[in-house]
Structure formats: C-alpha cells, structure tokens
Amino acid sequence: MQITDILAQVGGLQSIARELGVSETEVADGAAALVPAILGGFKKHVQSQPSGLEGLGGLLGQLGGGNLLDEVLAPEPTNVSHGNDVLGRIFGSKDVSRAVAQNAASQSGLDSGLLKKMLPMVAMLVTGYLDKQRGGATQASEAAGGLSGLVRNLLSGRSTGSGGATPPGDTVSGLVSLLDLNGDGNTLDDILGLVGKALR
C-alpha cells in the first residue's frame, strides 16, 4: 500500500481538500506527486546522520511528531507554518520547495499554486505518520537487534519483508520501505539537480 493511500484512509487528504476547497481527487493526485520528494528529504537526512533512523526519530520529534498528523486532521484550520518548518529542515531552502511544487505540477497536471499550498500540509501529514510508525517500529525492532539493523536495511535498499513485500502490521518493514521508496534512487536528488542548474 502506498503512503498516499494510508494518508487517505486516516482522513488526511480529505482534510486538505476541505480546507483548500478542492476535490479529493486533486489532492490525491497532488500528494502522489509531492510525497516522493518529501520522503526523499527524510531519506537524505537518515543517510547523513551516523545515528540513522534514531537521528530521524529525533528530527521527527523536534518538528512536532505525531501531533502534526493530528493537527491536519483537526476541524480547525491547519497552521501551515508548522509545515513550512518541516520543509525548511528537510529541503534546506524555499528554492527547493518551489522546485518540488513545480516538478509535482508537471507530473500531475495540477496548478503549481495549488501544490505550493498543499506542500506544507502534506509534509505535516507525512511527518506525523512517520513519527507514529517510528514508535511502532522501535518496539517491534527490540527483539531483532534494535534500530541499527533497520538503518543497515534502509541504506542498502533492502526490505525486511519476504520477497520484497511488507507483511501486514510489520511497522519495521513499513518504515524502511516508505523511506526507501522503490530502492532505485531518490526523487529529491533529481529535483536538487534541476535547482542547481537553475541557480548557475
């Protein structure tokens, strides 16, 4: 199951659609185009930290953790400044955030202005969801050698599930596969390359 499907199941995409006054289909298409770059940003953070996923856990907590997911799901208007804080930490600059939105617009056919509004909210959903998954993964991994094994699997592109599939309820495999995406690269790296060319 894709993370965008999970975010739809918990009501996150519906909340964004309601708040922005657009259809759930538009939000689902936009999220599908935005999420790979957001996860790519977290993956780059994991790879740059000696502590790997444990360092990611610290970052998720600093950014607001599972409360960010709850905030988007709440009936009150979402404080998108929290989402902008997430984007600032994982992307490093507004130029990258704009490039991510432009790239998503070309992929989805949606207006880049809509995607710029969606981006911080989707970042909050992903951050909150990853933090909730991390909590389950930490408990599940204690009997399997702790988080260090998760980090090795993540950085080598392996899943802990058999045959590459994520067993139902296996939060360890789920978190690894979410960050690793399809194991053949990082969407954010491609976008960063485009930003670099534009700034030269």
- Please write the tens of the pLDDT for every residue from 142-154: 444 444 444 444 4
Summarised one tens digit per residue, pLDDT across range 62-75 is 999 999 999 999 99
pTM score above 0.85: no
CA 197 vs. chain centroid, Å, equals 25
- Domain that residue 164 falls in: 3-199
Question: CB-based contacts of 43: which residues, under 8 Å, 6+ apart?
Answer: 154, 179, 180, 181, 186, 188
Domain count, the chain: 1
With tokens 């970042």, the residue in question is 123
Summarised one tens digit per residue, pLDDT across range 13-23 is 999 999 999 99
Residue type present at position 48: S
Angle in degrees, CA 111, 179, 47, rounded to 5: 110
Work out whether the CA dihedral 148, 152, 153, 155 comes out positive or negative.
positive
CB neighbours of residue 152 within 10 Å: 13
3-state SS, one letter per residue, for 10-45: CCHHHHHHHHHCCCHHHHHHHHHHHHHHHHHHHHHH
Tell me the pLDDT of the chain averaged across its residues: 76
Burial class of 142 by CB neighbour count within 10 A (0 to 12, 13 to 18, 19+): exposed
